[in-house]
Amino acid sequence: MTRGELTSELAASLGLRHEARFIIEEVLGTPDSHWSQTVGTADVATIRTFAERRRAGEPLQYIFGHWPFRGVDLLVDGRVLIPRPETEYVVEVVLAELDQVGSASPLIVDAGTGSGAIALSLAVELPSRIPGARLWATDSSADALDVAVENLTRVKRAHRAPLVPLEFRHGLWLSPLPQELCGFVNLIVSNPPYVAKEEWLDLPHDVRCEPFGALVADDASDGTAGLGDVEQVLTEAWTWLARPGVVVIELAPAQAEAAVRLARALGYVEVRVDQDLAQRPRVLVGRAR
């Protein structure tokens, strides 16, 4: 069987030609243009197994066991949220904010790190921009932290250049950080759960394969659906941030106005919500002065 024939077979069964190409390229490890390539029997069997799992609703990222994020190849499985392009843009906002911090050795915290996507991409990218930066990352899920630690090892093997120092801690949001850091953190970034409970059953099946606790949050104190964890991070960050300091949080577009009100009520200034690449309000930025 040729690669082209196999692609047509999978595209018909999956209904999505690009997913067929992703699966075949993952197994064969060669570019999509090799249409006449003969595919061996064992590879055909693996490809068809992957396609069957995808038809059953399993995310491609979990099937493959890894996924790229800003050039970092991360281990990804059912213990962690799947890294998404919206979160890649969060890192862009963080880098822009760090350029304005004015510190040669900023202290940065990724609260609720999951797979370690944000923290590890910063660990790779910051040495060429701010080599004196220091990173901490927390998560309340021991399983997620296991994945993050595995990913740190993986990234160290893949990138020969030194990384920014990164420490992982187990616990909820900022509580597991050493107390001596309180008041000295220059930037706090977080991609907390922000799906409302009533939205859970309406999510696509492959999204509902991801950890419930990494997606779904309680309502905020003002009643805004799914904004409870965003509010908690904002509240804790106010105490831990240096002055000046900045917090950067991913949220759902429908929560933007409520999140800005909550941030301002806590005392943050110059509060804004940046739009993602699809022009949707996505990234809350607030400054502590």
For residue range 49-62, list pLDDT tens digits in order.
999 999 999 999 99
| Per-residue buried b or exposed e for 89-119, using 16+ beta carbons within 10 Å of the residue's own CB | bbbebbeebbeebeeeebbbbbbbbbbbbbb
Q: In terms of Cα–Cα distance, which of 65, 58, 76, 88 is closest to 208?
A: 58
pLDDT of residue 140: 98
The pLDDT score that the predictor gives to residue 283 is 98
CB 22 within 8 A of CB 60: yes
The residue written with tokens 């069987």 in the block is 1
Residue pointed to by tokens 């990222």: 61
Is residue 31 over pLDDT 80?
no
| Residue 182 DSSP one-character state | T
- pLDDT band at 66; cut points 50, 70, 90: very high
pLDDT > 90: what percent of the chain? 93
What gap in Å lies between CA 26 and CA 53, rounded to an integer? 14
Instruction: Give the model confidence (pLDDT) of 266-281 as tens digits.
Output: 999 999 999 999 999 9
CATH topology of domain 66-288: Rossmann fold (3.40.50)
* Count helices and strands in the chain by DSSP H and E runs: 10, 11
Measure the CA angle with vertex 219, ends 216 and 225; round to 5°: 80
pLDDT, position 219: 98
Distance (Å, whole) CA 77 – CA 66: 8
Amino acid, single-letter form, for residue 190: S
Whole-angstrom Cα distance, residue 246 to residue 268?
9
pLDDT at 269: 98
pLDDT in tens, 14-28: 998 999 999 999 999
Q: What percent of the chain stands above pLDDT 70?
A: 99
User: What's the whole-number mean pLDDT along residues 4-10?
Assistant: 95
Q: How far apart are CA 63 and CA 18, in angstroms?
A: 16
Q: Is a pLDDT exceeding 80 seen at residue 33? A: no
φ/ψ region of 21 (left if φ > 0, alpha if ψ in -120 to 50, else beta) reads alpha
Cα 185 to Cα 219: distance, rounded to the nearest angstrom: 27
**200: Cβ contacts below 8 Å, ≥ 6 apart:** 208, 212, 215, 216
What's the angle, vertex CA 265, arms to CA 263 and CA 271, rounded to 5? 35
Average pLDDT, the chain: 96
Omega of the bond leading into 244 within 30 degrees of 0 (cis) = yes
**pLDDT digit string (tens) for 249-259?**
999 999 999 99
The phi and psi torsions of 106 (rounded to 5 degrees) equal -65, 145
- Model confidence pLDDT, tens digit, residues 201-239: 999 999 999 999 999 999 999 999 999 999 999 999 999
- pLDDT for the residue numbered 239: 97
- Residue 184, pLDDT > 90, answer yes
Q: Are 246 and 285 in contact (CB under 8 A)?
A: yes
Cα-only R_g, the chain: 21
What are the extents of the domains in the chain?
3-56, 66-288
Angle subtended at Cα 169 by Cα 164 and Cα 174, rounded to the nearest 5 degrees: 100
Q: Is the dihedral of CA 156, 157, 158, 159 positive or negative?
A: positive
- What is the spatial distance between Cα 136 and Cα 147, in angstroms, rounded to a whole number? 16
Helix (H) or strand (E) holding 83: none
Amino acid residing at 262: L
In the prediction, which pLDDT does 160 show?
85
